[in-house]
């Protein structure tokens, strides 16, 4: 089970949102670079970064910070947040990002997803963010009226090499992930799945290990708020 500690960047600071709401955010005093250093000190190998400025603008707003994190700490980094152009994917892969997460753009334009997987083999992760079984887009402000499982069936053989499934109702709430829905996604998906949203304890990590086709789990707010001890968490990382 790969553990992906999370860094969400907004205005060059580490922040966490509640259910993706930009008006309901917590800012932390630590910088993204220092937070990454802390994760490295504990021996983590993977990192999940969201560029929240990018999610709002569609630009690679924090590429300098991300480049510094990749080059300094040698993490396997996955990055998401407003990636809407092939040029943005290239910018990220050029600075050493392992996986670029496509979310809204892939849902609104399946052909973009297909082409991105062809142009950047093994570099594309598909980010599916759902509320009550339906996909949400545009920073979770819009419901797409697309059932997550139906959409996945359509794009399952496009070539994405990782799927990140987030239950929006759980995100930032620390109420445990939606394991039931995630296992349905994992059963269907041609590529391994990362669980995201609501991780609240080490028990959630242990439970995640019992599901098949789950590659890893993203842990965010529970780290920042001190609910999960990093040393304990690092022991679960394999």
The residue segments making up the domain with residue 161 are 2-235
Beta-carbon count within 10 A of 67 CB: 17
Query: Exposure pattern of 139-165 as b/e (b: 16+ CB <10 Å)?
Result: bbeeebebebbebbeebeebbbbbbbb
State the Cα–Cα distance between residues 4 and 39, nearest whole angstrom: 10
pLDDT at 139: 62
Of 51, 129, 204, 237, the active-site residue reads 129
Of 8, 51, 204, 237, the active-site residue reads 8
pLDDT at 235: 96
User: Above pLDDT 70, what percent of the chain?
Assistant: 98
State the Cα–Cα distance between residues 182 and 128, nearest whole angstrom: 11
Phi, psi of 123 (to 5 degrees): -110, -10
Mean pLDDT of 186-192: 98
The number of folded domains in the chain is: 1
> 187 an active-site residue?
no
pLDDT band at 173 (very low <50, low <70, confident <90, very high): confident
Q: What is the pLDDT of residues 76-135, one digit of tens each?
A: 999 999 999 999 999 999 999 999 999 999 999 999 999 999 999 999 999 999 998 999
- 28 forms beta bridges with 14
Considering only CA atoms, which of 182, 189, 185 is closest in space to residue 160? 189
The yes-or-no verdict on residue 218 having pLDDT over 80 is yes
Phi, psi of 61 (to 5 degrees): -60, -30
Task: Give residues with Cβ within 8 angstroms of 197, minimum separation 6.
Answer: 166, 167, 168, 169, 170, 171, 172, 177, 178, 218
Beta-carbon count within 10 A of 203 CB: 10
> 204 an active-site residue?
no
Task: Give residues with Cβ within 8 angstroms of 115, minimum separation 6.
Answer: 86
Q: What is the pLDDT of residues 137-164, one digit of tens each?
A: 876 667 778 999 999 999 999 999 999 9
pLDDT at 20: 85
Contact 174, 227 (CB under 8 A): yes
pLDDT band at 220 (very low <50, low <70, confident <90, very high): very high
pLDDT at 140: 62
| CATH number of domain containing 143 | 3.20.20.70
Please provide the average confidence, as pLDDT, over all residues in the chain: 94
| Model pTM score | 0.95
pLDDT at 172: 80
pLDDT at 104: 92
Mean pLDDT of 190-200: 96
User: Above pLDDT 90, what percent of the chain?
Assistant: 85
């Amino acid at each position: 089970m790969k553990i992906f500690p999370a860094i969400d960047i907004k205005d060059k600071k580490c922040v966490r949102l509640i259910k993706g709401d930009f008006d309901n955010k917590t800012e932390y005093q630590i910088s993204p670079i220092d937070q990454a250093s802390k994760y490295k000190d504990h021996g983590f190998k993977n990192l999940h970064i969201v560029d929240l400025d990018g999610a709002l603008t569609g630009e690679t707003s924090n590429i300098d910070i991300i480049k510094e994190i990749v080059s300094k700490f040698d993490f396997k980094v996955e990055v998401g947040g407003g990636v809407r152009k092939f040029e943005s994917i290239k910018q990220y892969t050029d600075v050493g990002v392992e996986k670029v997460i496509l979310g809204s753009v892939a849902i609104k334009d399946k052909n973009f997803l297909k082409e991105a997987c062809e142009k950047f083999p093994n570099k594309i992760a598909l980010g599916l963010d759902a509320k009550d079984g339906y996909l949400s887009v545009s920073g979770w402000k819009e419901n797409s009226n697309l059932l997550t499982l139906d959409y996945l069936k359509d794009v399952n053989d496009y070539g994405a090499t990782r799927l990140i499934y987030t239950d929006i109702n759980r995100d930032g709430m620390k109420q445990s992930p939606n394991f039931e829905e995630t296992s349905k996604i994992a059963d269907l998906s041609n590529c391994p799945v990362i669980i995201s949203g609501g991780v609240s304890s080490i028990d959630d990590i242990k439970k995640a290990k019992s599901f098949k086709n789950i590659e890893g789990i993203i842990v965010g707010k529970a780290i920042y708020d001190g609910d999960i001890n990093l040393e304990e968490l690092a022991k679960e990382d394999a």
